[in-house]
Amino acid sequence: MPAEVTAFGLKGDGVSIGLVSEPAELFCEYGMRARKHSPFATTLVLGLANGFIGYVPTPNVYTEGGYECEATNVAPEAGDQLCQTMIDALNAVA
């Protein structure tokens, strides 16, 4: 499923802020990973932007079960792919 990711960054004079937007309701692990690997001191992950693709759970949720994996339209690997795309987008604007 296509997903648009947009990134914007500000660096200079003690400022280092990155913004990345994505169209999903991501599980928090993905946002935490994107912030950890971001080239910016402060990174904000903006979800439910650039459209809507629904829940993006972590792979373990697909085996554990729950509302989110039953309500999603994406494959178990989609979260890792979307997270890497966010990290790549942040690096591109750093």
Q: What are the sequence ranges of the domains in the chain?
A: 6-92
The pLDDT of 66-91, averaged and rounded, is 95
pTM score:
0.94
Residue type, 33: R
The pair of three-digit structure tokens given for residue 27, joined into one six-digit string: 């599980």
Q: Could you tell me which residues are beta bridge partners of residue 43?
A: 18
pLDDT tens track for 6-34: 999 999 999 999 999 999 999 999 999 99
Q: Checking DSSP bridges between strand 15-21 and strand 6-12, what pairing results, if any?
A: antiparallel
pLDDT tens track for 36-48: 999 999 999 999 9
